[in-house]
Structure 1
């Protein structure tokens, strides 16, 4: 697959960062239109930008490094969406809910980008692990989990709880992308119920006791009901 060739004027001195950004943007657009990353060769990206293929390698050592840059850019977009969704929330639990819903919404709106960033094997494993853990999206979610702990809503290791809440949002998004024909009902409502159940479970866990077994949980629930 290739985009129509565009003649590009010679770049001015010092415009390398701009060209690098244009390459990433073009790669993201082509990846969104493709079924998989293998369908987007470096040559197609070069044609879309209007440069020669060797020009791409002046900014990226290989295709895997370009894909890693695309993944980093996807996480930045995801963070922007999460922050915007939680802008008017006044409680940590409200922000956590808004983050989770925005996460699922972003994944469903950008399935190919989400697949590349989270569902495909890491283009550069060591780089991507650092980028994910230090991404603004992950940091904001962990900071909000820490606020929930400080407010007495959750109890436990904030990193572990953040991974658990992320796993729930990711599970909803991945399932709805992979199996869109299943009877989920309205996507936002399904995501909200699932995220709410996970948050309630996390909140109740510390009240029931450490590592509760099914019997302990059943007894605790019976005592809560009239």
Structure 2
């Protein structure tokens, strides 16, 4: 949590092992025993965020049988996660890729890929059986980008006079999923 706050407040360049160690109340040396550098700390934060969302996706895949209801719940879960975990969300979904994935085989990269594959599968299942896989991929990216847009603009512009958050979310999901039904 301390590292999340520092990365958000200071940016990747401004966050240092020393600042993180000071915030946690340990020495820099102690932190280096667990992490090679600050990119590993950021990778760990992102991996944790992706893992939470992946677990939610997997749970919905196991418990919700209606594909459209499941997809709506997946999107709602993503948006809710963003608003409930603003620092982790910003770091996982709004940090330049090179800073998160310094290691090509890093766990954050693997979990992020699994998370997206799970989401794309949910979109495919919500489409009619004769759907085109390329079309499903495009629709998955549109749905993800649209919900991300709502989370990020509300998060980054809190001073604007936003409508009720639940109304914003539910109206957006209504519009997106209605459009999906016509595909």
Bin of the TM-score, shorter chain as denominator length = 0.7 to 0.9
Task: Indicate yes or no: 2:168 matched with 1:190.
Answer: yes
For each residue in 1:113-142, what CA deviation from the matched residue of structure 2 results, as whole angstroms up to 9, or x when unmatched?
Answer: 11111112221446478436523x323212
Which of the pair has more CA radius of gyration? 1
- Compute the displacement of 1:81 (Å): 4.4
In structure 2, what is the equivalent of residue 164 of structure 1?
Answer: 142
Compared with structure 1, are the counterparts of its residues 112 and 77 closer, same or farther at alpha carbon in structure 2 (3 Å cutoff)? Answer: same
Distance 2:80 2:24 in 1: 29
Distance 1:96 1:56 in 2: 40
Give yes or no for contact 2:3–2:20 (8 Å, CA) kept in 1: yes
Could you tell me which runs of 5 or more consecutive residues in structure 2 were left unpaired when the two chains were aligned. Answer: none
Could you tell me which runs of 5 or more consecutive residues in structure 1 were left unpaired when the two chains were aligned. Answer: 1-27, 207-226
Distance 1:118 1:146 in 2: 23
Give yes or no for contact 2:83–2:151 (8 Å, CA) kept in 1: yes
Distance 1:151 1:203 in 2: 12
> Which of the numbers 52, 57, 64 marks the counterpart of 1:77?
52
Distance 1:151 1:91 in 2: 14
- Compute the displacement of 1:41 (Å): 2.8
TM-score, with normalisation over the residues of structure 2?
Answer: 0.77
Give yes or no for contact 2:67–2:125 (8 Å, CA) kept in 1: yes
Give yes or no for contact 1:149–1:155 (8 Å, CA) kept in 2: no
- Compute the displacement of 1:93 (Å): 0.6
Distance 1:32 1:156 in 2: 40
